[in-house]
């Protein structure tokens, strides 16, 4: 980002100190003369002659001398490593020329000399003097590029230094800006977009860029802009992205523009995009991108006038195609056959031990099987426990499995049906209907939660979740209430639905509500208004927190309220400050916990290094009795640092240190943080760390490590993790709690039989779905106190993961949105930011035909010229258009 240092460094390093006596230089040169070839010697003498002549009194002679000198410099060929010969030979005369310049009267000749001095200063100017720039400004405003690339780069570096100096002195900068314009134009023309962008960032005038980009270089420019945005502080990153957006709009690269609009969370831009782009197919592609991001965006009449088209597009945004596409993928990969938990446990591979006992049902293990079954068969619409084949008569396996769960376990069992029918509203509701009429409150509660799960990430214009769940929120029974609240939260996550708010908000301040109802209401509101900074909701949650008695605040459930509050500000950085200020007035029992939670949520996905340091600092402190803020702080490190690869690697190393030196409560959170950092991305080093921790003497560390093993392997079918977990299942076979965690992790690894991912990042890791992250964070916070929540009676918080579940697929569709199989190359993505030419974007690729699965860090590109993808990013649903120029090869 600072070309000045890096560029000038190389040029000045190996030169003798300028202030050395001239005699010494002469002597050296004399010695060197002997080594010179005849050609060089001639050139040297020639130049010396020019220098002499330039000091002549005759202006005519001067002019000729200066011009020939210029000619020599310009025609000199230089390489990266050596100084051009004319410059080298002129160096001893820099001082003389400089002195002569001072004596000259103003004239064109003086400007000409200034130009030459400016070039000579490239190698001669002492560091920090910026003489090159000084003489450039004094010289003629000739074509800047005529002096070569190196000169321009050096100049750019000096400009940025000069700029900051003048900025602090509040001196005018107009003359600089003229130069900047020239340099930018030069860079943009010569494939040096990063340099141009860097210079403009230094002089804080990126708007200039828009004028200079053209169709050949805008892609590289924007790529550089967007990727540098991640490392920029404060408002600058938004500004940079804004420029990128306007450039993309200018060149009609709408899908990219849409991405940036989504990154900026700017729905006005999204609306404009739909208005600007008339192509109905492209509009459909936009809808797919919006749907993948998981935002609810309503197309109004002002955006799209045509009713029919608007309905069709709105349906796409509502993700109604998701289930269909997912099943297409599943059929193509041939994994439709339902799997039972035993297929996942693979007990036969564990040597020396069969299924153990086996005759007696263990409620804990049945519950684990329920979750495993739900995770593994998620979205497939069929399984071996909960769904009954149509021909099976009454008393089928469905109800019998349901009742093999104990009490609150039945809620999770009933809700698991929702998970199995994920994204398929029509059949899902029909399947769940029978549970609504049950007399068992837990079953009803599960059915309500199931409705929420089915509707998660998909919307229907009839909004069945709201219609069905609203009335149950009023019910007396706490478990039914929680089912309905959680269902609403899941179904409407990110929708900012007013109706949902009016249903949930009164619960917060209702004196009769029990703590768990209030806690779940807080979370649900946080999900519905995720990242909205909604004042009203925030205030109500704050009030609810203040009303809690001190003993209630000690309950792990009470920690859900600050979390709900934090979710409101997810990724919104400074906007949280007012609320954070209020939180300082809370009871000291929860004050710091709340502070950490708010901060971690607000800076989630920003990569803000200062915040990471802040959290690390908090972890270095010793806990007072009864405090619990370090758990959220550790998670906060992961939440903030997960934004980009470098920060992520650093965070992993920092967490290793915490493991070594941290106290027990920190060590318990570290595995979870690792799990979040590498979610659905089984990095081997993290896998090894977690494997080590899974044998930790502290059972809570071990449990967290095992859950995290599941998280990093989520939906990958990773054989190594699966093997580790199998061994753990035999190692911990007699500890029901630990075994439960192993089972959950096994279920997660085979999530959706390996077709799903939990990563909130998508679109080449550029965009982060806020609802997905919110779901993960809620689940992880619940894992901070495993014994009270997940191993207690609130195990259904595991279903919050459904928010992050997305198929990790590339499904190409034709213009009628029917699946279209084309060959694609899938390989490891290569970072091509700032690289010259047209580098390969993937490496080690294999050619498949769509639909294909994409692993973490994979990128796909079409292997045929026959079609043109409407989105440059081949992920999720991509519409293909036939290439009109394509000719069949004979």
Residues in the chain: 890
CA distances from 143 to 87, 152, 563 (A): 19, 11, 59
What is the side-by-side strand order in the sheet with 842-849?
Answer: 842-849, 823-829, 858-862
Neighbours of 216 (CB within 10 A): 10
Total residues contacting another protein (rule CB under 8 A)?
47
Among 80, 360, 610, 684, binds another protein (CB under 8 A): 360
> What tokens were used for 320?
């109604």
CA distances from 300 to 86, 281, 312, 493, 880 (A): 67, 18, 13, 21, 27
The answer to whether residues 842 and 798 touch, using CB atoms and an 8 Å cutoff, is no
- Nearer CB in complex with another protein: 259/370: 370
- Nearer CB in complex with another protein: 167/499: 499
331-346 burial code (b ≥16 CB/10 A, e <16): ebeebeebbebeebbe
787: contact with another protein by CB under 8 A: no
Among 403, 502, 613, 833, binds another protein (CB under 8 A): 403
Residues within window 483-512 making contact with another protein, judged by CB under 8 A: 499
User: Closest distance between another protein and the C-beta of residue 453, in Å?
Assistant: 15
Residues 189-228, one symbol each (x = binds another protein by CB under 8 A, - = not), give ----------------------------------------
User: Closest distance between another protein and the C-beta of residue 445, in Å?
Assistant: 14
353: contact with another protein by CB under 8 A: yes
Q: Where are the beta strands (DSSP E) in 369-430?
A: none
Torsion of CA 471, 408, 704, 456, to 10 degrees: -30
- Nearer CB in complex with another protein: 467/719: 467
User: Closest distance between another protein and the C-beta of residue 369, in Å?
Assistant: 13
| Helical ranges in 108-204 per DSSP H | 108-124, 131-138, 149-169, 174-189, 193-202
Neighbours of 755 (CB within 10 A): 25
CA distances from 760 to 560, 640, 680 (A): 21, 13, 10
What is the rounded distance in angstroms from the CA atom of residue 523 to the CA atom of residue 622?
A: 29
464: contact with another protein by CB under 8 A: yes
User: Closest distance between another protein and the C-beta of residue 452, in Å?
Assistant: 14
Among 68, 399, 717, 841, binds another protein (CB under 8 A): 399
Among 120, 329, 402, 826, binds another protein (CB under 8 A): 402
Residues 683-722, one symbol each (x = binds another protein by CB under 8 A, - = not), give ----------------------------------------
Place of tokens 């941290």: 662
User: Closest distance between another protein and the C-beta of residue 790, in Å?
Assistant: 16
723: contact with another protein by CB under 8 A: no
522: contact with another protein by CB under 8 A: no
Among 108, 127, 279, 461, binds another protein (CB under 8 A): 461
Q: Tell me the torsion sign for CA atoms 623, 625, 631, 636.
A: negative
Using the rule CB under 8 A, give the single segment among 89-97, 222-230, 349-357, 593-601 that binds another protein.
349-357
Burial-class residue 366 by CB neighbours within 10 Å (0-12, 13-18, 19+). Answer: middle
Residues within window 726-785 making contact with another protein, judged by CB under 8 A: 730, 733-734, 736
Residues within window 408-437 making contact with another protein, judged by CB under 8 A: 426-427, 429-430, 433-435, 437
What is the rounded distance in angstroms from the CA atom of residue 82 to the CA atom of residue 879?
A: 52
Among 373, 398, 597, 746, binds another protein (CB under 8 A): 398
What is the rounded distance in angstroms from the CA atom of residue 318 to the CA atom of residue 459?
A: 5
Place of tokens 């029509």: 426
356: contact with another protein by CB under 8 A: yes
- Nearer CB in complex with another protein: 364/667: 364
- Nearer CB in complex with another protein: 352/626: 352
- The β-bridge relationship of strands 767-768 and 806-807 is unpaired
The answer to whether residues 531 and 572 touch, using CB atoms and an 8 Å cutoff, is yes
Using the rule CB under 8 A, give the single segment among 73-81, 403-411, 605-613, 700-708 that binds another protein.
403-411
Give the residues lining the site for another protein (CB under 8 A).
351-353, 356-357, 359-364, 366, 394-395, 398-400, 402-404, 406, 426-427, 429-430, 433-435, 437-438, 440, 443, 460-464, 466-468, 470-471, 499, 730, 733-734, 736
């Amino acid at each position: 980002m600072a070309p000045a240092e890096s560029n000038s460094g190389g040029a000045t390093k190996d030169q003798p100190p300028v202030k050395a006596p001239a005699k010494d230089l002469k002597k050296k040169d004399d010695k060197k003369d002997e080594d010179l070839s005849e050609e060089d010697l001639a050139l040297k003498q020639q130049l010396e002659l020019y220098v002499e002549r330039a000091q002549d009194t005759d202006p005519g002679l001067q002019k000729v001398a200066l011009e020939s000198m210029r000619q020599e410099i310009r025609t000199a060929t230089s390489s990266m490593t050596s100084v051009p010969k004319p410059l080298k030979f002129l160096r001893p005369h820099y001082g003389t020329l400089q002195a002569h310049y001072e004596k000259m009267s103003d004239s064109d000749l003086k400007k000409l000399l200034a130009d030459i001095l400016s070039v000579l200063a490239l190698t001669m100017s002492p560091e920090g003097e910026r003489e090159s720039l000084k003489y450039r400004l004094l010289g003629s405003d000739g074509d800047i590029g005529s002096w070569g690339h190196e000169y321009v780069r050096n100049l750019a570096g000096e400009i940025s230094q000069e700029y900051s100096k003048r900025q602090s002195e509040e001196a005018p900068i107009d003359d600089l800006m003229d130069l900047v314009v020239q340099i930018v134009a030069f860079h943009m023309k010569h494939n040096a977009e990063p340099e141009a962008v860097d210079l403009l960032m230094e002089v804080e005038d990126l708007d200039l860029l828009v004028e200079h980009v053209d169709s050949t270089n805008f892609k590289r420019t924007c790529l550089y802009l967007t990727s540098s945005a991640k490392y920029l502080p404060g408002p600058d990153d938004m500004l940079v992205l804004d420029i990128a957006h306007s450039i993309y709009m200018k060149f009609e690269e709408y899908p990219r523009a849409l991405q940036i609009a989504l990154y900026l969370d700017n729905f006005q831009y999204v609306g404009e995009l739909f208005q600007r782009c008339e192509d109905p197919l492209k509009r459909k592609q936009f809808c797919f991108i919006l749907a993948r991001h998981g935002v609810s965006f309503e197309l109004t009449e002002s955006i799209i006038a045509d009713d029919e088209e608007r309905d069709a597009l709105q349906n796409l945004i509502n993700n109604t195609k998701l289930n269909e596409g997912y099943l297409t993928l599943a059929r193509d990969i041939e994994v439709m056959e339902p799997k039972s938990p035993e297929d996942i446990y693979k007990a036969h591979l564990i040597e020396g031990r069969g299924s153990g006992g086996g005759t007696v049902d263990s409620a804990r293990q049945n519950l684990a099987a329920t979750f495993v079954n739900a995770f593994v068969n998620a979205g497939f619409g069929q399984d071996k426990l909960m769904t009954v084949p149509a021909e099976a008569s009454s008393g089928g396996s469905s109800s019998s499995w349901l009742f093999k769960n104990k009490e609150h376990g039945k809620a999770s069992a009933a809700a698991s049906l929702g998970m199995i029918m994920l994204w398929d509203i029509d059949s899902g509701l029909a399947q769940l209907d029978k549970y609504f009429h049950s007399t068992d409150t837990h079953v009803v509660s599960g059915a309500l939660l199931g409705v929420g799960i089915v509707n998660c990430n998909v919307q229907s214009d009839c909004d069945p979740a709201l219609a069905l769940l609203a009335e149950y929120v009023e019910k007396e029974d706490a478990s039914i209430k929680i089912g309905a609240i959680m269902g609403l939260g899941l179904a409407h996550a990110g929708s900012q639905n007013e109706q949902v708010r009016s249903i949930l908000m009164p619960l917060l301040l209702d004196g009769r509500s029990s703590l768990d109802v209030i806690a779940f209401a807080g979370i649900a509101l946080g999900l519905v208004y995720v990242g909205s900074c909604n004042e009203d909701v925030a205030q109500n949650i704050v009030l609810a927190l203040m009303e809690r008695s001190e003993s209630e605040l000690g309950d792990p459930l009470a920690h859900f309220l600050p979390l709900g509050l934090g979710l409101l500000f997810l990724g919104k950085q400074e906007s949280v400050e007012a609320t954070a200020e209020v939180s300082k007035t809370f009871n000291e029992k929860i004050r710091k916990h709340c502070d950490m939670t708010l901060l971690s949520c607000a800076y989630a996905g920003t990569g803000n290094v200062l915040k990471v340091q802040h959290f690390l600092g908090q972890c270095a402190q010793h806990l007072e009795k009864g405090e619990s803020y370090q758990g959220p702080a550790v998670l906060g490190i992961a939440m903030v640092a997960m934004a980009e690869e470098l920060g992520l690697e650093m965070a992993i190393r920092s967490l290793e240190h915490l493991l070594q030196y941290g106290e027990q409560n920190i060590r318990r959170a570290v595995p979870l943080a690792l799990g979040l950092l590498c979610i659905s991305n089984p990095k081997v080093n993290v896998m090894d760390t977690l494997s080590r921790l899974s044998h930790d003497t502290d059972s809570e560390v071990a449990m967290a490590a095992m859950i995290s093993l599941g998280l990093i392997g989520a939906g990958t079918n990773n054989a190594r993790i699966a093997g580790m977990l199998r061994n753990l299942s035999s190692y911990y076979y007699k500890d029901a709690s630990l075994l439960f965690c192993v089972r959950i992790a096994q279920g997660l690894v085979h999530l959706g039989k390996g077709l799903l991912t939990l990563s909130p990042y998508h679109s080449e890791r550029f965009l982060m779905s806020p609802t997905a992250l919110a779901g993960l964070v809620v689940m992880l916070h619940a894992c901070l106190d495993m014994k009270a929540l997940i191993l207690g009676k609130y195990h259904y918080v595991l279903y919050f993961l459904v928010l992050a579940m997305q198929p990790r697929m590339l499904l190409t569709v034709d213009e009628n949105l029917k699946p279209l199989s084309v060959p694609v190359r899938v390989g490891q993505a290569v970072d091509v930011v700032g690289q010259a030419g047209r580098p390969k974007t993937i490496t080690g690729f294999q050619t498949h035909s769509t639909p294909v699965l994409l692993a973490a860090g994979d990128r796909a590109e079409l292997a045929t010229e026959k079609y043109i993808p409407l989105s440059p990013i081949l992920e999720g649903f991509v519409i293909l258009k036939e290439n009109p120029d394509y000719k069949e090869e004979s």
